[in-house]
Amino acid sequence: MQAGYTPANLDTHNVLAAPNLTWVVVHKDHPAVALLHHNAEMLGNDIRLQQSMDAEWYKISKDVLTAACQTLRGALGAYPCAPELGAYPCAPALDP
């Protein structure tokens, strides 16, 4: 998993948001993008097949980002002492 992501900053690190919009722009390396890609079959849509901005950013709804971040926090909640997501034993399963 990419360095710099923690359970506390998943909603903000590499996330560009505007107050009056229902969507955000998320960097391709964000753990939520990896989660959405990993679950493409279940979701019926692969985020990595969508058009990206500058080949690095994906537009997703705020609700989808919130749900993905909650899922990541829940899955990693058994390891509260690890400072970054890359330190969690299950993090490689979320890598693309």
Domain boundaries, the chain: 15-94
pLDDT > 90 in the chain, percent: 43
* pLDDT tens figures, 27-65: 999 999 999 999 888 888 888 888 889 989 999 999 999
Residue in this structure with the two tokens 């993090």, named with its chain if needed = 91
Please compute the mean of the pLDDT values over residues 67-86 and round it to a whole number. Answer: 71
pTM equals: 0.75
Kindly tell me if the per-residue pLDDT of 90 is higher than 90.
Answer: no
Q: Which burial class, exposed, middle or buried, applies to 42 when counting CB atoms under 10 A from its CB (0-12, 13-18, 19+)?
A: exposed
